[in-house]
């Protein structure tokens, strides 16, 4: 059985949990409190030298880090990954965009405000910069969703799983979603998938 090292408020971990739920794959959850340094112990660093969750332990194989490497490994043969090479490339374009332009801004601002309980006053310009870049990423996403139900077209895919994770919690980073009507409709569409569950569900 798979074992997932994770921190429930993590959007990156949530991508993996949602994918496992979609695939109906049972797994053992090992919760680690990243605020307490639980992923920087010698024991954990021996499993993942990068010291981050989510980390998937695959029986007979070893450990796999990086949320997008994990979800594409798990879902490779499912309908969440398109067969067509060009569609698969579009999926990876969105996954890479998420980790480069969306998560480092929205995810980090949310972590400071919600998990570390810092205030906007304490954070100052650092928060303003993250929020500005986060809003720019939301504008790119809004444009990508203008003419379609899901990011790759009519069918839900891992691109939606990956982008949903931190987009739907943008208000936790101090970013309102009201200016983005296509994103709003897409969030509601994604949340009506029968396998959807809230971010900290177990």
Instruction: Answer yes or no whether residue 25 interacts with a second copy by CB under 8 A.
Output: no
- Residues 35 and 115: beta-carbon distance below 8 Å: yes
Instruction: Answer yes or no whether residue 73 interacts with a second copy by CB under 8 A.
Output: yes
Span interacting with a second copy, options 26-34, 97-105, 170-178, 189-197, rule CB under 8 A: 97-105
Which residue among 23, 88, 108, 196 contacts a second copy (CB under 8 A)?
88
Residue 95 Cα to chain centre, angstroms:
9
Q: Smallest distance from the beta carbon of 183 to a second copy, in angstroms?
A: 14
Beta carbon nearer to a second copy, 68 or 168: 68
Instruction: Answer yes or no whether residue 39 interacts with a second copy by CB under 8 A.
Output: no
Return d(Cα 81, Cα 33) in angstroms, integer.
31
Residue 144 Cα to chain centre, angstroms:
18
Q: Is 2 helix (H, G, I), strand (E, B) or coil?
A: strand
**Pick from 163, 171, 174, 176: which is nearest to 126 by CA?**
174
Instruction: Answer yes or no whether residue 125 interacts with a second copy by CB under 8 A.
Output: no
Size of the site for a second copy (CB under 8 A): 32
Instruction: Answer yes or no whether residue 116 interacts with a second copy by CB under 8 A.
Output: no
Beta carbon nearer to a second copy, 55 or 173: 55
Instruction: Answer yes or no whether residue 65 interacts with a second copy by CB under 8 A.
Output: yes
- Residues 2 and 20: beta-carbon distance below 8 Å: yes
Tokens of 48: 């993942």
Return d(Cα 104, Cα 126) in angstroms, integer.
12
Binding site for a second copy (CB under 8 A): 49-50, 58, 61, 64-70, 72-73, 76, 85-86, 88-90, 92-93, 95-97, 99-101, 104, 139-140, 143-144
């Amino acid at each position: 059985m798979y074992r997932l090292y994770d921190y429930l408020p993590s959007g990156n971990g949530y991508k993996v949990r949602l994918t496992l739920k979609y695939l109906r794959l049972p797994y053992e959850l090992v919760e680690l409190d990243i605020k307490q340094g639980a992923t920087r112990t010698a024991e954990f660093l021996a499993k993942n030298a990068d010291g981050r969750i989510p980390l998937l332990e695959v029986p007979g194989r070893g450990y796999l880090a990086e949320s997008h490497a994990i979800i594409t490994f798990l879902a490779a043969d499912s309908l969440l990954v398109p067969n067509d090479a060009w569609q698969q490339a579009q999926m990876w374009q969105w996954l890479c965009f998420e980790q480069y332009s969306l998560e480092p801004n929205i995810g980090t601002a949310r972590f400071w405000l919600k998990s570390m309980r810092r205030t906007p006053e304490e954070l100052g310009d650092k928060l303003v910069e993250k929020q500005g870049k986060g809003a720019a990423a939301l504008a790119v996403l809004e444009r990508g969703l203008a003419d379609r139900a899901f990011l790759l077209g009519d069918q839900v895919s891992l691109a939606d799983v990956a982008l949903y994770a931190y987009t739907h919690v943008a208000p936790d980073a101090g970013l309102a979603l009201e200016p983005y009507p296509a994103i709003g409709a897409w969030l509601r569409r994604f949340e009506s998938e029968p396998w959807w569950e809230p971010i900290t569900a177990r």
